[in-house]
Structure 1
Amino acid sequence: MSSVINTNVKSIVAQNAMSVNNRSMSKAMEQLSTGKRINTAADDAAGLAIANRMTSQIKALNQSVRNANDGISMMQTAEGATKEITNMLQRMRELSVQAANDTYGTTDREAIKTEIDELASEVTRIAENTQWNGMSILGGGASYDTMTFQVGTEGDSTSSITVAFQAMDSTALTVSSLDVSSNSDAQASVIDIDAAITAVDQFRSTLGAKVNRMTSAADNLANVAMNTSASRSQIEDTDYAQATTELARTQIIQQASTAMLAQANQQPQSVLSLLK
């Protein structure tokens, strides 16, 4: 083996080995400190792209769950109000049946009508003041209408659920001007109130069905988001068992490389002994 001074090949080899090992050690330390296997595109370009797409999907799924829950809250608010309206209508019907009995005179029927009118006004008050996020959802000339709830991640009709809200005030239910001044008028009022109760019941049934559908949609979205998050974790998160093993390996190699570099740097000194 030749003895040279200007070029210490062993030292260069040791330095290169240390440089490569230091990069591996730094990468292991970065993965352990960030909890991410992929921190830059250089770590895994394809994996980074897939993980980013999954992140977008997860965020959209989580927002869709919130959208569904907001829709459920809105419909539950409407359903609670219609329950009270039903109570008012049932009392109005009871009074109309009472007024249909000819044992009651004009004064008695006027007293009954006064209560019926007050109940009709309360029906309207409930309808007009039932709001969600500032929107009147049961009528009274405000913003009741068809509403669309985005419960999916795509921009098409398959990702939404539409709910048609209805006016529930006494005018819309045709019970705002009931007449119970005679037997026949009171009987006609009973028929009108029955129609109103049926309309409210049908609307409540629709709300209940939509709530159940939206609840199922929210549960499914949450499940998909959970599974997508698990898949993303497999791609981008640090495997701590593997990373700690890699860190220990590179630290040992670093210590050995440092020792070998020190010996390689001492090699030219042996040439001096030939000059003595």
Structure 2
Amino acid sequence: MRVTQSMLSNNMLRNLTNSYNNMGTYMDQLTTGKKINRPSDDPVIAVKGMDYRSQLVEVEQFKRNTNEVHNWMDNSDDALDQATKALQRLRELAVQASNDTYDLEERHKVMEEVKQLKTHLIDIGNTKVNGKYIFNGTNTDVKPIDGGYPTNTTDVNIEVSNGIKIKVNVDADEVFGEEAFANVDSFITALENGDQGEIEKSIALLDENINNVLNARADLGARMNRLELIEHRLGSQEISATEMMSNNEDIDYEKVITQLITQESVHRAALSAGSRIIQPSLLDFLR
């Protein structure tokens, strides 16, 4: 096949264009720090990147969910702690009032404090956080102790990991239910009547209330410990997904810089060789 001057020129121009494209690709990679700048550059890397990003978005949502769970559990635990202190104070008063040396007037004074503690327990049972009543199951917009007692014991579950949900609320029926306040009312009635025998019985009833609160706190504490383990797992998943996404998309700067320098050298050599190979033709001498 006869090689003409135009063939040499066209081949050189085509190869120089490819060389410019290669240098442009390396420059884009160095500027963005990414292997690709559009899906068409490498569909496989693009699809994997979308998958890793989806994993990160999912983990971030679960982490936001765990914050909501903490909000429920921390406030519930604080409220139960206050309820425990109030019940312990009621028990102390019951022990004091059961003393033979207390007369009716003194027991009436104790009764006034007991009534205030009962009101305090009602306020705790009506704890509201971010516009939600946390001791009324899924009826978070209904005041639990308002002429009645908590009746909704449905679990409030929040998903904290793929397929894993945690109960965030406390079964308020045992802690702030009708029976719990009936025990306090019995104590108030015994104080009002000055009935020492009933006052002594109230000590055991208040002990039952305290035990119910402690059991609720123990159950809540176990779930809080589990949440910490799940949070640790989410942190590991986030680190893993971020690392895989980086390995998939981010460039190796040393490698790309080396490739760019090599390509520049090749380009310069091509320009130099091309200027020598493409010699003046006969037509140039006939002008």
TM-score, normalised relative to structure 1? 0.87
In the alignment, the residues of structure 2 paired with residue 172 and residue 29 of structure 1 have an alpha-carbon distance, to the nearest angstrom, of 75
**Which residues of 2 match residues 13-52 of structure 1 at below 5 A?**
13-52=11-50
SS at match of 2:156: strand
Find out whether 1:222 has 2:238 as its counterpart.
Answer: no
Deviation (angstroms), 1:131: 2.7
CA–CA distance in 1 between the matches of 2:227 and 2:59? 14
| 2:131 equivalent in structure 1 | 134
Cα separation, 2, equivalents of 1:35 and 1:46: 18
- 1:147 and 2:156 are equivalent in the alignment: yes
1:194 offset after TM fit, Å? 1.0
Q: Deviations over 1:199-227 (max 9, x none)?
A: 11011111111111011101111101101
Q: Pick the aligned partner of 2:118 from 108, 117, 120.
A: 120
* Amino acid corresponding to residue 160 of structure 1 in structure 2: K
Q: Does 1:187 align with 2:187?
A: no
- Which stretch shows the higher mean deviation, 173-182 or 216-225? 173-182
Cα deviation for residue 176 of structure 1 reads 4.4
1:72 is matched with 70
- Larger RCO: 1 or 2 (CA < 8 Å, sep 6+): 1
Identity of aligned residues (%): 26
Which residue in the other structure is 2:170 paired with? Answer: 165
Aligned partner of 2:139 in structure 1 is none
The 1:273/1:37 distance shift into structure 2, 3 A limit, reads: closer
Shift of residue 89, structure 1, vs aligned partner: 0.5
RMSD: 2.4
CA distance in 2, matches of 1:255, 1:247: 12
Cα distance in structure 1, aligned partners of 2:255 and 2:271: 24
Q: Do 1:99 and 1:182's aligned partners in 2 also have CA atoms closer than 8 Å?
A: no
Q: Which residue of 1 aligns with 2:52?
A: 54
Give the gaps of 5 or more residues in structure 1. Answer: none
Q: Which residue of 1 aligns with 2:93?
A: 95
Q: Give the alignment of 1:258-269 within 5 angstroms.
A: 258-263=271-276, 267=279, 269=280
1:144 CA drift (Å): 7.4
Count the aligned residue pairs: 267
Q: What is the match of residue 203 of structure 1?
A: 216
Aligned partners of 2:284, 2:104: CA distance in 1, in Å? 136
Q: TM-score, normalised by structure 2?
A: 0.84
Aligned twin of 2:82: 84
Counterparts of 1:170 and 1:111, CA distance in 2: 26
| 1:22-76: CA deviation from partner (whole Å, max 9, x where unpaired) | 1211111111111111222232212211121111011101221221132123201
